[in-house]
Amino acid sequence: MHAHIEVVQRSSQRQVDLKLLKQEGGWWDRLTLQPKKPLFLAPDFDRWIDESDAEMELKKKEEERISSISVESRVRKDPFLAVKRGYLFMYNLVQFLGFSWIFVNMSVRLFILGQDSFYDTFHSTADMMYFCQMMAVLEVLNPLLGLVRTGFIPALLQVSGRNMILFVVFGAVEEMQNKAVVFFVFYIWSWIEIFRYPFYMLGCMGSEWKLLTWLRYTLWIPLYPLGTIAEAVAVVQSLSVFDQTQMFALPLPAFVGGSLSFSYSLRLYLILMFLGLFINFRHLYKQRRRRYRSRKRKQQ
């Protein structure tokens, strides 16, 4: 048995610890050359490892390694993850640029023309708003395809509600296109989206900007009710136009005669609009509470 001896001094006056460093690996049959060790010499049993203990330790480490490999093999990595993230990033980028253009255009016109800009909002921004809202249909499909974890119902309610206002109330009724309510509807929509889409873009990159996160989870509190009120005003203003023009009226059977005005459908839609606001409000409130509750836990 060959070993270097390193003396480690301790504060205790009762003992001196000797650390034996082996020159060659292997197991020792005994601690000293003599069959009987001196009485003053004792091994440190807290660090004592014999051959059987070492085998058990190696076996345990091997089992842990095999277990970790089996767990990793069960959790399959998505080979299309980069493609999905790239698609979501580009979608959110395009939507952000579109709504930013609308917002800047309306802000500049408001600064230059004042209230006169209210009455020409549709003709100056409708094409871009059409594009953005047609693209927004993908937000309904993305949860169904498993690309995002957001709920399908809230996305469907928001997209279908906005498209009803844009394509039916504003787009199909020329008398509505020069009303001031168009400005408020478009401006509130833009306010919401110029903060929502950049938040999702950063999420695709695994990054976060605290101020943007706060705006994303806070601005909807005043803006969603204001947007719903503006949309409701637009629907109410269009009722008389649909009654007069009989646009989209539903023909009734011959024995009844006449037709059912589309305005009745819009009256029903007004009720559903505020029901949808309640559903979306509750959904976003839960998201906000979950977000900041988890952050507090991390900080603690």
| Ranges of each domain in the chain | 76-292
Within 13 A of 141's CA, how many CA atoms are on the CB side?
Answer: 7
Angle, helix 121-135 to helix 181-204, in steps of 10 degrees: 40
Question: Position 269: which residue type?
Answer: Y
Tell me, yes or no, if 187 is annotated catalytic.
Answer: no
Q: Which amino acid is at 98?
A: G
Instruction: Please say if 224 is a catalytic residue.
Output: yes
Largest CA distance in the chain: 121
What would the two tokens of residue 282 be?
């509750």
Sequential pLDDT tens for the chain (300 residues): 555 545 455 555 666 666 666 666 665 666 666 666 666 666 665 665 555 554 556 566 666 666 665 544 554 566 777 888 899 999 999 999 999 999 999 999 999 999 999 999 999 999 999 999 999 999 999 888 888 877 788 888 889 999 999 999 999 999 999 999 999 999 999 999 999 999 999 988 888 888 998 998 899 889 999 999 999 999 999 999 999 988 888 887 766 667 888 999 999 999 988 888 888 888 888 888 887 775 555 555
Question: Cβ distance 95 to 136 under 8 Å?
Answer: yes
Q: Which of 224, 269, 285, 292 is catalytic?
A: 224
Return the sign of the alpha-carbon dihedral for residues 115, 230, 173, 129: positive
Nearest residue to 185 (alpha-carbon basis) of 106, 286, 258? 106
Catalytic residue among 231, 269, 285, 292: 231
